[in-house]
Each structure stands twice: as C-alpha cells, then as structure tokens.
Amino acid sequence: MKKRKYGVALSMILAAGTVLAACGSDEEADTGSDEGSTGGGEGTEETSDFKVAMVTDTGGVDDKSFNQSAWEGLQQFGADNGLEEGTDGYTYFQSNNDADYVTNMNTAVRNDFDLVFGIGFLLNQAITDVASQNPDTNFALVDDVSEGDNVASITFKEHEGSFLVGVAAGMATESDQIGFVGGVESDLINKFAAGFQAGVEAVNPDADVQIEFAGDFNDAAGGQQIAASMYGSGIDVIYHAAGGTGNGVFTEAKNLKQQDPDRQVWVIGVDRDQWEEGQVGDDNVTLTSMVKRVDVAVQDISTRAMEGDFPGGEVIEYGIQEEGIAIAESQDNLSQEILDEIANYKQQIVDGEIEVPSTLE
Amino acid sequence: MFNQFSRWQKILIPVISVILGLIVGAIVMLVSGYNPIEGYTALLSGSLGEGFYIGETVRQITPYIFAGLAVAFAFRTGLFNIGVEGQLLVGWVASVWVGLAFDLPKVIHLPMAILAGAVAGALWAFIPGLLKAKLRVHEVIVTIMMNYIALHLCNYLVRYVISDEQNTTDRVPESASLKSPFFETLTEFSTMHYGIFLALAAAIIYFVVLEKTTTGFELRSVGFNQHASEYAGMNVNRNIILSMVISGAFAGLGGAMEGLGTFGYGFIHGAFSGVGFDGIAVALLGGNVASGIILAAALFGILKQGALIMPLQSGVPTELVEIVIAIIIFFVASSYIIAYLLQRLRKGAK
Amino acid sequence: MDYVIEMLDIRKEFPGIVANDNITLQLKKGEIHALLGENGAGKSTLMNVLFGLYQPEKGEIKVRGEKVKITSPNVANDLGIGMVHQHFMLVDTFTVTENIVLGMEPKKGINIDLKRAEREVQEISDRYGLKVDPKARIADISVGMQQRVEILKTLYRGAEILIFDEPTAVLTPQEIKELIQIFRTLIAEGKSIILITHKLKEIIEVCDRVTVIRKGVGIDTLDVEGTTPTQLASLMVGREVTFKTDKTDSNPKHSVLEITKLNVKDSRGVNAVKDLDLSVRAGEIVGIAGVDGNGQSELIEAITGLRKVTSGKIELNGKDLSSYKTRKITEAGVGHIPQDRHKHGLVLDFPIGDNMVLQTYYHKPYSKYSLLNNKEINKQAKKLIQEFDVRTPSEQTPARALSGGNQQKAIIGREVDRDPDLLIAAQPTRGLDVGAIEFIHKRLIEQRDNGKAVLLVSFELEEIINVSDRIAVIYDGNIIEIVDPKTTTEQELGLLMAGSKNKAGETENV
C-alpha cells in the first residue's frame, strides 16, 4: 500500500463517526483531508486512489442491521475522504445467495479494490479462499476470525456492552426475573448471554436470568412465543440477541403494554438502537439497546488501510474503549440513577477494573 | 380455442415471454431513471464478458439444471414437487458428510459422495411420494413442510454431527471434490467446477428415461391420465413414488454439486438457498423438456450472475433482475395470452 | 311466412375447416323440427350460432321475420331462444328454484325473494305438466327430473323457441315417453322446438319436419310423415345403411366368464353389486340392460380389477381373477372397451400410436431391455389404423385431436388385436353416429363368431336387442332376469329395468 500522510488522526475519525452529526463532521473531515493530499474541493481523483468495497451477506445492504451499519460506515468513510461511490471509490456488492459470496469477493478484487470487507461470519470461507488466491488485496471480515496475512478479522466485545445493559436490566427489574433470548446457540451469542448475566449479577445479585435460544435468527413467531411464556412467568425485562426473531419479542411486549399500559414490560434491543421497534402509542417498551458500531469498525479499518497501516492477519476487537460497543442514544426509559451506574461500570471496564466474562460457565 | 399448442407455439411462447420480460424490465429501468442499455450491457458483461464471469455463470447454471430437471420430472408425472429446495439441502449435506467421513481413492470416493447426495434427495422425496400414493396427502403440502424440516435438520447436522459446533464443516478432501483447478485457472479463479458435465449428463438421462424407456412411458401416462393408466394395468401408486424418488435424486445431485463443487463444504443456512424454488421457474420456462430446461437454466444463470455486477457498472439494483425474471414467468404462465396474440397476428396476416 | 326462426345460408369456418357451409334452417311456429346429422356434421356449430356462442362468417338470422344479430347467449335469451344442453348446467347443492332463478333472482330489497320465485316455478311447472318440486335439491332428484329443471329454466326466462341437444341420451325408455309428452304440451302452449338428435326413431315419432346435414352441408329439409328410418339414415350418412345388424345365430360353447355371488362396493362404500351371478360363454354376446347406476360400472370395474371385490368369485376359463390386479387380468385374456373413453380409454395427450400399445408397451417387440422401440410401436399403430379405419393424419397425432368415433375405433382396434378370450364393451357406441355404430357392432359380432365371449353393457335398448344373443337385466346390483332378444320387446325390457318383474308398473322418479 502507498503511504500517505494525513492530518486526521484515527481518533478524530472515530469521534466524527460516533458523534454522527452528519453535516458537521463532513466539514471537519473535509478540512482534514485537505491538509493531507488535495487542494481541490471536488477533485476526488486526486484525493486518493484508494478503493474500498464491502460484500454483504444475504441480509442485504438495507437489513437495518450490521450490513446497513457497515455500509453507513463506508459511506461516511467515503464522504470523509472525498471518495466517489462506484468502481473508483467505494461500493457494496449485494449477495442474494450464499453462492454469491465468492463471486462478489472476486468481482471486487477484479475491479481493483484495495480493501474488501466481508460482512458477517457467513463470509468466512469465501474470504479465506479468495484472500489466499489474491495476496495483493486486503480483506477484512466482520464478526468472525479468518486466517491469512491479508485478512483483518473484526470482532466486537459484545459481552462488554451486554454487561452494561445487564446493569440496566438488573436495576430496572421489579420482579427480579430477567430473560435472555438468543438466536442460534453459538460462541458469538453466548458472549452476549455471559456479559449480560454478569452485568445483572453485579448490580442485583438476587435477580435470576433465564436464558433461551430460539434456534433461528429469522423466526419472529418463535420469538414471540418465547417472550410470551417469559413475560407470563413473571419476567419483566428481556434482552434479545436474536436478529429477526427478536422482533417477535418486541411484538409480544408491545401487545402486553397495549393491553395494560401500567404493566412493566421491557425489551433490550441489540446491534443498533431499537427504540423505534419498541414504540407503542405514547409508550415505549425499549429499555435500552446494546449498540454494535460496525460502521465505526469499518471506518477505522478503512482508514488504517488507506494509511498503509492495515492490520493484516490480526484480530481486532472493538469494545467500549474503542467506541465499537455502546449503549444506545435513546435513553428516555433509563432513570438518572441507572445512567449513572452504567457510566460508573463503563469507566471500570475501560479502566480494566472489571473483566467481563465472554463465555457462559 | 386452443386446447393444445402446436410445436412452434411451444417454442415461441417462452421466447416471446423472455423478450417481453426484458422489455418490461427496460421500461422499469427507464421509469426509475436508469439507462436500460447500460443496465443490460452490464448484465451481459457481468455474466459472459470475461472468462471469470463465464465461469461463475456456468457454475450458477449447474444447480439450476438439476433443480429444473427435478421439478420437471415430477411435473411430467402429474406431481408438483415444491420440495426440491429441501431435497437439494439434504443432498448437499449428505454428499459433504460422505466426503468427510471416508478416506478413499478419488475414483471411489467422489462417485460415492455424489451418489450419497442423490440417495439423500431421493429418500427425502420418497416420503411425500409415499404419503401421496398411500394416503392421498397432497404432495405440495408435504414437500413444503419437508423443506423446513430439511433446513433445520441440515443445520443441526452441520453444527453438531459433521462439525464440532462450527458454522461450517471442514472442506471435503480432494478425493471427494468436484473442484477443478483446470477450470479455475482457465476462468481466472472462478468457482466453476466439473458439475456442469454431470448436469448435462443428467439432462440426457432425463430425456432417455422419460422418452425412451417403458418406465418413462408409464410415468408420462400416469402424469397425463391416472385413470387410463390404471385401466391399462399400470401401478399408479408405484409410479407416483418412483417419480418423486427420481425427482428427489435430481435435486439431491444438485445439492451435491454445491456441496462438492461450488462450496466444497456444508454450512448453516440462515434461510433457503432459493435454487430449488427457482427450479420451478426453470422447469416452467423450459417447458419440462430436457433441452428447454438447459436453455432456461442458462438464462437464469446469466440473469442472476449478471445481476451482481449491474449495480456497480450501471447503478441498476440487482432486484431489477428479479423483476425481469418474475415478468418472464408471468408471461410463460399466462401463455394463453401470448397464444391468443399469436393467433390474432396470424389471422391479421391473412 | 310463419317462420319463427330462419337461419339463411349460414357459413361458419374454423381454422382449416368449414363447419357450416351455407346451411339453411327454417323453423315454423308450433312445430318440432329435428336437426339430424352424424357427429361432426355441424349440428352443434349451427345451434351455437343460433344461441349466440359463435358468429357466422356469412348468412343471416331472422327471428319472427326480423333480421337480428345474435352476439351472445343473453341476446338469444332476450329473443326468446332457450337451450337445453346435453350436459346439464345445474348446481347440485342448490334447490330447483335456486337453480332456475340463478343469474336473474327476483329481489325483495337486497334479499332474494325465494317465495315468489318458488311460486312462479310451481306455476310454470303445472302449466306444462312438468311435475317438478321447486324445493327439491338437485342432488336428490333423478336425471329425468334434472332435465325438466333445465326446461323450466328456459321457460322461466321466457323462451318461445327451445333447442334440445340430444335430450334422450341420458333417459330411460319411460322417461323418454314422458319427455315426448312434455314436447307435445309445449307445442300446444305455442312453443316451437328444435331437436338435435341422431336417433331416427324419435324423429319419426315426434317431429314434424327434419333438416339433415352432412359434413357441414345442408342436405335436405323434409316432412317427417312418409319417411322411413332407412331413408333418413341414408341421407345422413350419404350411403345405404343396413339397420338390422346382420348376424347368424350364436353357437355358444364352454363358459368363459363365470361370476358367482359377487359383491362389490361403490366409491361411497355402499354395496353396488349384490350376490350377482352371471356367465358368458365362448361364442356369444351377453348384453347387460339396465338403467345407469344399477351396478353396471362396478361390475365391470370388478371384473377388470379396477375395483376391489368384497366377496364372490370371478372365473375366467376356470381361473379365479377376483384378487388379481388389472395387468394380470389383462394378460389372462380380458379386453375392455371402457365406458368413458376419455377418462379410461385413452391418454388423450399421448399420440394415438402410443395409445395403441397402452397395455402392451412393455412386451416385445414394442420394447426391449426396458427401452421403447418406437419403430415397432408405430408399425403396430399403422396396422391398426389401417385395419380399423381410424381416420387420423398420422399415428403421431395426439388422441385428443381425433373425433369420438375414431377414438373409439382406435380403442376397439387395440382391444380386439390383443385377441382376448373375453371382450367387455361398455357403452361402446355412446355418442357415435350411425356409420361408426354399424362398424363397431360388426366388430363385436366378428369377435363372437371367432369364438370369443363378449359382454356388452349399454343403455341403448335397441343396441342391446340388436347385438346380444342373451340379455341380462341388471337392477339394483343384481341380474333379475335373463331374456331372449328375439322374443323380448323394448317395453318388457323397460319394465324389467325399472325393477318390476313380469308385471307393468310405474317407474320410480326418485
């Protein structure tokens, strides 16, 4: 990779991405990149010949989840660096089918993209294969670990974020009964469960966390069923890490809220701010959400690659400290007390005072 | 009044449907502010423009041929096999399993793994066939349900039996692989594999079995008229089961092509691959004959493959290809409209 | 002129054929006018033109002297033209009244005024002596009654001219008598009738005039009085027709089919054949006479293995077939010309050639090592097409494209060629014209003369009497009488078929 000097530090971009005050950050980034390479405002071709692409999994780029988040990150990166969308700047390849992963990866390579993201663990095999055939291109895999000197593996410390929402759950519960609904049982989902359990334990040792798996990430009906039996048994807070299945948890909670607005039912969202999903009339059942900033990670890796600092062969974990994991911005349902406590624990995690477990015992 | 279509109509209807589909697709592009010529150019160059894309297109065509043959075979016997998707999945997993479980020379191992796929698909289709034959349970319902069972069963097998709680299985060894280093180099690292030859061979087998054997005679007879077949002393129930089993074997082989060729491993499917369902459209467009199915599969392969590059080169979203395919199928399904138009045209010409 | 309907020089073409070539048909007020012709002669086309289903290429239609354009059945209805189809168009689960008012229900607010409708139906029924119960459900009444409902339907819609398409095909002799009475009442009330038929005796009995068409061309219109069946038949077919089937006396030998104490259940699980005994000997034709639904179908299905035998024995040349599957029975020497040639006899979408080896395709020389030998199949097909005068463009033509008569000839060729010891012919001439009927009767008798046993089931008494050597009358699943065709009369058979043994009685209507 060509080395370039940029005025903008990594932390700045991270900050820009996190704040997400779209216009403001644009300007900020623009002025920054001016310094680095170009004088022309629109002269993108001179700005950089760095090209970056991402390959979605079958969820597609508008999945309201990590594919979308990744694409937002890439768009932000493009805007910050004056790249054009398309073959000469940044783009995405949509996979309609599992068989499309390899094709899309290869197509990206053939179009001379310098860095290709694979979004989601489903792309692991494809990225591993294509990376070994194309040692001159850099790859990055989100949510799983791939071997290869030209592949960076991006993972998240979901357990840390889950710990924080666990704190919220442990304090918000009145019945001391808390539920966790996972999609398919796997190491990844177990990380969520473990961190969550630890968070609850930290603030409310009396509370009991019941863990269930739906066996599917796209079974809203199944999710609703599990939620119904959980709420029925006295549980008043459910944290879901179950993708589309989690939508069923929201549905059930909203139904209960509608029938009896005084009843306490909470859902904790995952991956992105799920405030909207919890809206029912004037009430909202979303207590908070554990947000995974795939966009932040994508921008970070892209920037490092552009600067010639691509972490090939490394596994990069994004946690609270790296701003890759956070509590959602919608915080209306959290009392100040809870917010304070969360801030407290957050600091302890950042400071390393607390080591959040990532596996269930 | 057209009780049946003449030979030229049978060929013309799908061709016209395809053309109409492309035209409507172009209109949709225009209306949505894209350039249809650019769009279709991108589609063509993204499917046939370079060696790599040709390789990928051929790879894509392979399972479509099998899925199309599977649907068509059942259809010729009067059965609607919606379960090709599930049969394909079990064939996939079975072939990978056999590929991983044994350590044998390639001459034995590869055929065995392929056969395992066929057998698994056949068995999976045997169940709805049996239920239809013995209890008159409608095969459409059973096959749809069996798709879900197949999906989740295969996921379970991949995670807990074939792999050690992983999302993917190991790669099948070279001795059970259809992967072709020769084709891969030829097509600049595409995933094209030897499966296409098996697909073409399967199409020939399909033709011979249906058109040239006594078994095919019975199957077709049962497909057209169960009562007359029964009258003629054919065992209708046996033929129903047989038809489903052969259909399932084709589907299972399609799965084996994915398991041993395209991917070379099994993995947890979050959702259906869609190949089995597309097979219904392939069979319909191909008029349920072998040559037609090959052509229809080729068209679908080209469209689906070209769709991937369309957004990059012309900005047209990939979903547009789905619209084009849907319109083609609509016109084929409503072939009466086209037949009617053809007749009017002919009258007008007189 | 006192013509109510004039169809003048009607020409109707379909791709490739001229179905009606300048046909003229004039219907006088108050007459019963027969439209006579072979199958495919163009009778139905002509009537469909009159009923507004087809538009003629040429010619004009006048109703009561006024030139009209009938563009749809609704227009025909408005002009007072009603049609009683051969296949009834009734909703089984509705009552008589509901069926009659269907599509033009009298309203009271937004509700159907059924009371008024029932009253009106009752009125019309009484006036024409139809004896229909307006409240009965269609599913519960006999075929004859259903036909009357169809008649009522046209009358309710104000029809002055009624077209009947083969109305007697589905009726028992007694019902036919009653229908003829209804015709007379209708005429007395000032209606006019066009009767499509190929039954010459009926024409002579009830019609005033007859228009004969042959191959789409109007041959002649003549007064019925003074004509003979033979004369009409010759006009229709275009050559001399012998009516009485020529045959020598039978010379029966050993028994080929021996049925004892046979019980068979129908599709609803009700006993349809009850302790039935029957024997058919080599060299004779046994005709089974009976009203449809008295166990004939179940009997044949049991013999041919298509239906399970509950108890009893079916012996062919001393071998019990009652537990055999169809194929084994076929191989044992049973030929079967099925009652419904479209449902059972042919795979309509197969080429006619393939249909000719429908039971033998797995034998040499038609196949070898499970591979079909199309050359041999086509050779066989060509041979049968030649021998049995099956008119088809080629052996590759789908069976569907052939006319009914030629389809039947193909089936008979196939069955006879297998040289079975027992040939079962179920309604072998249903819907066929005189020429084809003659041909088929000859073939059946030929089989008999070759020493085969033939079992004939037919609802046509004339056919039974003409062709059979012995007549077994079936009633309620049992053979109640065996009569000699030489001495019996249609009257006697009709009564026996209605279940009254040796004494006159009324037919049950339900």
Q: What is the pLDDT of residues A195-226, one digit of tens each?
A: 999 999 999 999 999 999 987 777 888 899 99
Cβ contact (<8 Å) for C359 and B232?
A: yes
Any residues with CB less than 8 A from the CB of C65 and at least 6 apart, and which? C1, C3, C6
Query: Position of tokens 């996979």?
Result: A95
pLDDT at C207 over 80: yes
CA distance B22 to chain A (A): 20
Residue B78 lies in a domain: yes
Residue B219 lies in a domain: yes
B304 vs A contacts (CB less than 8 Å): 96-97
Cβ contact (<8 Å) for C346 and B225?
A: yes
Buried b (16+ CB within 10 A) or exposed e, A301-322: bbbbbbbeebbbeeebbbbbeb
pLDDT at residue number C501: 63
Cβ contact (<8 Å) for A106 and B190?
A: yes
HSE-CB for B241 with a 13 A CA cutoff:
11
Please, what are the domains in chain A? 10-156+293-318 (3.40.50.2300), 158-292+331-350 (3.40.50.2300)
Tell me the C-alpha distance between A7 and A9, whole Å.
6
Please, what are the domains in chain C? 3-237 (3.40.50.300), 255-339+420-497 (3.40.50.300)
**Closest residue of chain B to C361, computed from CA coordinates:** B214
- Of the residues A52, A71, A90, A98, the best mutation for testing chain B's interface (the one with the most B CB atoms within 10 Å of its CB) is A98
pLDDT interval class at A75 (50, 70, 90): very high
Tokens, residue B27:
């209109």
Tell me the C-alpha distance between A278 and C117, whole Å.
59
Tell me the C-alpha distance between C113 and A237, whole Å.
61
Any residues with CB less than 8 A from the CB of B202 and at least 6 apart, and which? B65, B66, B69, B250, B253
B56 vs A contacts (CB less than 8 Å): 103, 106
Tell me the C-alpha distance between A77 and A179, whole Å.
38
pLDDT at B188 over 90: no
Q: What percent of chain A has pLDDT over 90?
A: 63
Candidate from B3, B4, B231 with C-beta closest to C306: B231
pLDDT interval class at A119 (50, 70, 90): very high
- Of the residues B263, B265, B314, the best mutation for testing chain A's interface (the one with the most A CB atoms within 10 Å of its CB) is B263
Q: Give yes or no for a contact between A295 and A17, defined as CB atoms under 8 angstroms apart.
A: yes
pLDDT in tens, B120-177: 999 999 999 999 999 999 999 999 999 999 999 999 999 899 988 788 899 999 999 9
pLDDT at residue number C171: 77
Any residues with CB less than 8 A from the CB of A159 and at least 6 apart, and which? A191, A192, A194, A195, A198, A356, A357, A358
Candidate from B215, B231, B233 with C-beta closest to C370: B215
pLDDT interval class at A149 (50, 70, 90): very high
**Residue B243, domain extent:** 68-296
Amino acid at B338: I
Residues of A with CB under 8 A from a CB of B: 58, 86-87, 91-100, 102-104, 106-107, 110-111, 121-122, 124-125, 130, 133-134, 184, 186-187, 215-218
Tell me the C-alpha distance between A302 and A212, whole Å.
37
CA distance B102 to chain A (A): 22
Cβ contact (<8 Å) for C349 and B232?
A: no
pLDDT at A39 over 60: no
Tell whether C253 is within 8 A of chain B (Cβ).
no
With 0-12 / 13-18 / 19 or more C-beta atoms within 10 angstroms meaning exposed / middle / buried, residue B146 is buried
Tell whether C371 is within 8 A of chain B (Cβ).
yes
Tell me the C-alpha distance between A39 and A21, whole Å.
25
Tell me the C-alpha distance between A48 and A276, whole Å.
38
Candidate from B3, B214, B221 with C-beta closest to C347: B221
B263 vs A contacts (CB less than 8 Å): 98-99, 125
B230 vs C contacts (CB less than 8 Å): 306, 326, 344
| Average pLDDT value for residue range A136-150 | 92
Domain tally, chain B: 1
Residue B279 lies in a domain: yes
Cβ contact (<8 Å) for C350 and B229?
A: no
Q: Give yes or no for a contact between C390 and C346, defined as CB atoms under 8 angstroms apart.
A: no
pLDDT at residue number A6: 43
* DSSP secondary structure letter of residue B171: P
B189 vs A contacts (CB less than 8 Å): 106, 130, 133-134
pLDDT interval class at C406 (50, 70, 90): confident
Tell whether C430 is within 8 A of chain B (Cβ).
no
Poorest-pLDDT segment among A41-50, A157-166, B89-98: A41-50
Q: Which chains touch A (3 or more CB pairs under 8 A)?
A: B
CA distance C224 to chain B (A): 37
pLDDT in tens, B190-201: 889 999 999 999
Q: Which chains touch C (3 or more CB pairs under 8 A)?
A: B
Buried b (16+ CB within 10 A) or exposed e, C332-353: bbbbbbbbebbebbbbbbbbbb
Q: Give the H/E segment covering residue C424.
A: strand C422-426
pLDDT at residue number A58: 81
Candidate from B167, B274, B309 with C-beta closest to A107: B309
Residue B150 lies in a domain: yes
Residue B348 lies in a domain: no
pLDDT at B99 over 90: yes
Q: Give yes or no for a contact between A215 and A184, defined as CB atoms under 8 angstroms apart.
A: yes
Tokens, residue A160:
């840390």
Tell me the C-alpha distance between C495 and A287, whole Å.
88
Cβ contact (<8 Å) for B233 and C359?
A: yes
DSSP secondary structure, A298-315, as one string = HHHHHHHHHTT---TT-E
Residue B43 lies in a domain: no
Candidate from B216, B225, B233 with C-beta closest to C347: B225
pLDDT at C366 over 90: yes
* DSSP secondary structure letter of residue A121: G
Contact flag for A and C (3+ C-beta pairs < 8 Å) = no
Residue B244 lies in a domain: yes
Cβ contact (<8 Å) for B212 and C372?
A: yes
CA distance B85 to chain C (A): 30
Find out whether the peptide bond into C393 is cis, omega within 30 degrees of 0: no
Q: Are strands C371-372 and C367-368 parallel, antiparallel or unpaired?
A: antiparallel
B312 vs A contacts (CB less than 8 Å): 86-87, 91, 93, 107, 111
**Closest residue of chain B to A104, computed from CA coordinates:** B308
Percentage helix, strand, coil for chain C under 3-state DSSP, each rounded to 5 = 35, 30, 40
Where is mean pLDDT largest: A18-32, A141-155, C10-24, C98-112?
A: A141-155
Poorest-pLDDT segment among B33-37, B102-106, B315-319, C374-378: B315-319
Any residues with CB less than 8 A from the CB of C166 and at least 6 apart, and which? C86, C196, C197, C198
- Phi/psi region, residue C338 (left: phi>0; alpha: psi -120 to 50; beta: rest), is beta
B224 vs C contacts (CB less than 8 Å): 347-350
C338 vs B contacts (CB less than 8 Å): 231
Tell whether C361 is within 8 A of chain B (Cβ).
yes
Amino acid at C467: V
| Average pLDDT value for residue range C180-192 | 91
pLDDT at residue number C16: 67
A122 vs B contacts (CB less than 8 Å): 167, 267, 270
Tokens, residue C65:
């002297």
Bigger pLDDT: C493 or C425? Answer: C425
Tokens, residue A40:
């022309």
pLDDT at residue number B336: 67
pLDDT in tens, A306-348: 999 999 899 999 999 988 999 998 889 999 999 999 999 999 9
